[in-house]
Structure 1
Amino acid sequence: MGKYQLDYKGMQLVEKFHEKYSNVKDDKKARVQALLKKAGKKK
């Protein structure tokens, strides 16, 4: 893992952090696609 070794609690915190911020990107992509579909229907 490198210079800093994490204990079990630290690893859980890091996983939660990455899950939180990795899902945000997916949600943005899905939201943009949904908006594009709505805009296409209006035209």
Structure 2
Amino acid sequence: MGKYQLDYKGMQQVERFHEKHSTVKSDKKARVQALLKQAKKKTGK
């Protein structure tokens, strides 16, 4: 096993950290595309 082993609480903190820092990039891309779709709808009317 590894040198550093985390208990349940530590694993939750690590998971939360990775979720927080990994989804920001994908959320920005999804948000930009959603805004572009809205802009196209507004200009198309």
Could you say what secondary structure the match of 2:6 adopts? coil
Runs of 4+ that moved beyond 3 A:
31-38
Written as runs of structure 1 = structure 2, the 5 A alignment for 1:1-43 is 2-34=2-34, 38=39, 41=40
- Unaligned stretches of 5+ in structure 1? none
Tell me the number of residue pairs that the alignment of Structure 1 and Structure 2 aligns. Answer: 41
Scaled by the length of structure 1, what TM-score is found? 0.61
- Unaligned stretches of 5+ in structure 2? none
**Structure showing greater Rg:** 2
Identity of aligned residues (%): 82
Scaled by the length of structure 2, what TM-score is found? 0.60
